Amino acid sequence: PIVGYKNDVVNTLRLWSARSSEDFDFDYFNSGDYEQAVYQKIFSENISKVLYPNDSESCGRELRLKQEYFFTAASMADIIRRYKVENNDLTSLFEKMSIQLNDTHPALAVVELMRILIDEYFMDWNKAWSVTQRCFAYTNHTLMPEALECWSVELFEKVLPRHLQLIYEINAYFLKEIKAHFLGDDERIARMSLVQEGEQKRIRMAHLSIIGSHSVNGVSRLHSELLKQTLFKDFYDLYPERFNNKTNGITPRRWLLKANPRLAGLITKSIGNNWITHLEDLKKLEELQEKKAFRQNWQKIKEANKQDLAEYILKTTNIKVDPQSMFNVQIKRIHEYKRQLLFAFYMIAQYLKIKNDPNSFKQPRTFMMAGKAAPGYAMAKLIIKFVNSIGDLINNDPDVSSKIKVIFLENYRVSLAEKIFPASELSEQISTAGTEASGTGNMKFMLNGALTIGTLDGANVEMAEQVGEDDIFIFGLKTHEVEQLKIGGYNPMQYVGQSPVLKEIHKLIKNNFFAPDQQGLFDPILHSIFQIDPYLVCADFDSYCRMQDVVSEKYQDREWWTKKSIINVANAGYFSSDRTIREYAHDIWGVECD
């Protein structure tokens, strides 16, 4: 049961678990093969043991496909079961049910519903397809082409042969439609097909999600525009009416009321408690920024939250951090496009600055990073190791550790996030422009009074509009500039040659400075950033450092910083998940809500 907030509503979240139909095979047991006797039970129940197994090997990919089908099939069966309690006519299913595909992982639900309608209820194919399309809507969560799921036809034939047959039928129906629409444009037709031709034929799950749905949305305004202009342009040309935007949001009940009770209490005392369900009421805080007593209370709350986090860090890492330093934080999934390496390079730059001229360093900082890497993502794991190595160097250098610290907080999870967000002062949202779909961590930082340094990417664009560009630290190339630079032939070493600090960082990594006992450990980073640099770390580095200098200068004016912190919270109302869900309900699901 999922309880709503003071609205007399309790929803049900169904958690599916695989169970074997045969727990024990006595024939194998009696013949002495004890492992085989329980093999079927173990094999079956593995499906729901670990979500998203490592798919870098074929066995992992097979388990993942089975897992995706298991969860979608269980959910679809349950939806049909509940519908049939009071309704017999499945041709009206879409009038009672709306199914939102959250990225491509549940895309098999489109085919599963077709299978149910055709095979189990003997519905006409065309009618089944019409019902299916009107039931489903698709939310895309990534601009990374490589993140759009594709499954080999060979694997489909092995695991889901009937579903593959239906996919071929859907594709034939779809190709007939687009051939009439884009007469003679064979390249476009090949791009849009559900089946990617080549040495190994693959099924494009994003394409299945688009053509099997009546609505396709991105999760920030920039993201949705880029979907239409780049990733799904062919489909937008065909179905412009299907595409829309639903900017992500976060729940204020968890991320402010529960996570930051001190700040929530001050806000409620000052403007009442209506903000809890109507986050736009936070706008009333703007007029309070000029009141000295209110600013002092705001500062005291931030200091208390920082002290709590400092104690947690000491307890879990045995590293003592200075609560009076700026808490500068990046927490998100570890991925090259999110540019944890840009943040890491800035840590190194500050280390070099202190070593070269200790008196020039004015603003102590505690750099914090948290996040998880996908099991098969070797570079992401190496980035975590790299940041920890930087931390080992800085935290154990007496010349430096009194001014800066580097903390990698392990096992990032919601309960840890609830400690980090309230204590944070500078939020790192530094993905390459045009790569982040939206982000929600940026909103959680904002709601807890952190200021943002970031690129004009994802929801940062809308955050800058809400709070005002003077109250957010924007740096780096814009989306169109990124594209122009790549088209013109980007050479990262050109930027290294122009930046003495970047040149020194390159030299240190090359000379194994951060891993003296493991020669060549960070060579993949050296190659990725200084030879290829797909996410333009080198191109944005100097701009980033200049903006960080502005941050340090501004932070020393505590009154200015506190005012901007209040302004950030006051303008976070738009990013409530209540607003997001209202838009989904009204625009996509056809449901009115209060």
Which residues does the annotation mark as catalytic? Answer: 141, 332-333, 338, 440, 444
Query: Nearest 5°: phi and psi at 429?
Result: -125, 75
Cα 321 to the center of its chain, rounded Å: 28
Q: Which residues of 40-53 are buried (b: 16+ CB within 10 A; e: fewer)?
A: bbeebeebbeeeeb
- Interatomic CA distance for residues 489 and 185, integer angstroms: 29
Structure tokens at 313: 């860090």
Spell out the alpha helix ranges (H) of 288-377: 292-317, 340-356
Q: What end-to-end distance do the CA atoms of the chain give, in Å?
A: 21
- Interatomic CA distance for residues 328 and 369, integer angstroms: 9
User: Is residue 298 a contact partner of residue 565, using CB atoms and an 8 Å limit?
Assistant: yes
Conformational region of residue 247, where left means phi above 0, alpha means psi within -120 to 50, and beta covers everything else: beta
Find where tokens 């005012």 sit.
563
User: Is residue 337 a contact partner of residue 436, using CB atoms and an 8 Å limit?
Assistant: yes
Find where tokens 């909103």 sit.
443
- Interatomic CA distance for residues 478 and 162, integer angstroms: 46
Three-class secondary structure of residue 59 per DSSP: helix
- Interatomic CA distance for residues 557 and 388, integer angstroms: 31
| Distant-in-sequence contacts of 185-189, Cβ < 8 A, 24+ apart | 188/234
- Amino acid making up residue 586: H
In DSSP notation, 236-304 reads HHH-GGGEEE----B-HIIIIIIT-HHHHHHHHHHH-SGGGT-GGGGGGGGGGTT-HHHHHHHHHHHHH
